[in-house]
Chains A and B, each alone.
Chain A
Amino acid sequence: QVQLEESGPGLVKPSETLSLTCTVSGGSISPYYWSWIRQPPGRGLEWIGFISYSGSVTYNPSLQNRVTISVDTSKNRFSLNLRSVTAADTAIYYCARGAQPKISGWFDPWGQGTLVTVSS
């Protein structure tokens, strides 16, 4: 059974870069799509972007100027970089897999999530 686990700093200073990694166990990166989704505390869900098993990316236009998602298939993991963060980027960050091979859009399974706080 595939499991996802997010890792990275829980505290980031304003204007710096938020960096997270999602490690995939129990399955392969290929041939799925892999997403980052965030949830501000007590609020709803915002899709950030995805990367395919072949490395092609699609980002939410609202964040695309600040976001980079990359994949390391040799280590079965993918990563998120979000630049120039502000307090508005404080959220639980989830990684998630596309629910079916070779198609993006809906998500299953999800990682447990990691809270990232932006504060000086």
Chain B
Amino acid sequence: GESVGLHLPTLSVQEGDNSIINCAYSNSASDYFIWYKQESGKGPQFIIDIRSNMDKRQGQRVTVLLNKTVKHLSLQIAATQPGDSAVYFCAEIPALNKFYFGSGTKLNVKP
């Protein structure tokens, strides 16, 4: 199967700082990636996606960077807020309806 991993299982940041969450993927043929946010006891919430023909995509306070050379994906959150505290995980999609998920990084935002 595919392997989608995360470099850090837990990340603690100060409120107002920027956060960077990383993800490595294994299939160089993957052409679509999604970041999800999951709060405790809730389902994963779609944050942002990126296709392999791009290396950067920006949303509201979030940016996803894709480095296909080293098969690495990152999620940057600007001005991190307490409401950003959650588990974040990436999904790699090598083919339509084939989703492979990382185990997640827990983001703790300290006030």
Q: Do A and B come from one complex?
A: no
Q: Contact residues of B with A, CB < 8 Å?
A: none
